[in-house]
Amino acid sequence: MRGRGERRLPELVAAEDVRAHSATRRPAVEPGELALLYAAGWRVEFGVVEVVGELEHDPSRARWGWRFPIRPLLLLDDLRRAPPVEAAGVSRTYEWRPRLRGSTPAQFEAGCAAIEAERG
């Protein structure tokens, strides 16, 4: 999940801005895992990323103290063209990682296909 409902991502997304993901709670991620990028507020999925490094923790930060590097594999640069999360058959209340949100491999593949279709 990127952005927040009250602080949405800008409508244009640059690949160089998608290098890491931060979280307040310790995420269960491992290098090599794939994830869909979900833009909170927009309620769309706009990319597929790979976790490319180890999870790091900064104990001096109360929020966003967990961080791991990601690499975009497929990215829509305009959120106005991104498919809604429902295109993958997933409720908007679920989180962005398939395993975390409990989605199926078929839903993950549907999300990837919806993003690819919009990319053209």
Indicate the CATH number for domain 15-119. 2.30.30
> What is the chain's mean pLDDT, rounded?
85
Distance between terminal CA atoms of the chain?
A: 23
Whether the predicted pLDDT of 23 surpasses 80: yes
Half-sphere exposure of 12 (CA within 13 A, CB side): 1
Residue 99's pLDDT is 43
C-beta of residue 48 within 8 angstroms of C-beta of residue 35: yes
Residue 39's pLDDT is 86
Continuous segment of H or E residues that includes residue 56:
strand 56-57
Phi-psi region of 49 (alpha: psi -120 to 50; beta: other; left: phi over 0): beta
Domain assignments of the chain as residue spans, ordered by start: 15-119
Residue 92's pLDDT is 56
Mean pLDDT value across residues 47-65? 94
Residue 79's pLDDT is 95
Query: pLDDT tier at 46 (50, 70, 90 boundaries)?
Result: very high
pTM: 0.82
Token pair for 19: 């290098």
Mean pLDDT value across residues 37-54? 90
Mean pLDDT value across residues 36-64? 91
